[in-house]
Amino acid sequence: MAEVLGHFRRALPSVPATIETDVNAAAAAELFLNHPQKKSCAYITVGTGIGVGLMVDSKPVHGLLHPEMGHIYVPIQEGDTIEGTCPYHGRCAEGLASAAAVARRAGVPPPAL
């Protein structure tokens, strides 16, 4: 990864460059371009999984790689027997609301959504 970044820094020395996760990059763009008066935001994407990009004090928040907020526990309605699609946590937000989970609940393949 450092060599990719180094290539861009050498080729375009006057342009700031960094490598970031897709969802943190979207959060930064939302914050800086659409809400420049703010310093913090959370940007949520829902698709194959659930991703959350966090900007706090105008800086991206990272975990080991990035926060896995799509895997937070979500209580379900009593009597709901749906099994989540997340192979790690089952009924986390991603396991219950990602495209695969919605498709399973609807009884259709994900492309049909």
pLDDT tens across 16-33, in order? 888 888 999 999 999 999
- pLDDT at residue 1 above 60? no
pLDDT at 65: 66
CA 88 to chain centre: 17
Q: What percent of the chain has pLDDT over 90?
A: 66
**Highest-pLDDT range among 7-11, 39-43, 84-88:** 39-43
Q: What is the pLDDT of residues 62-79, one digit of tens each?
A: 877 667 889 999 999 999
CA angle 28, 31, 52 (to 5 degrees): 55
Phi, psi of 38, deg, nearest 5 = -95, 165
Whether residue 107 is predicted with pLDDT greater than 90 in this model: the reply is yes
Residue with tokens 């498709």: 103
Residue 60: partners with Cβ closer than 8 Å, 6 or more residues away? 20, 21, 24, 27, 28, 53, 54
Q: Between 2 and 17, whose confidence is greater?
A: 17
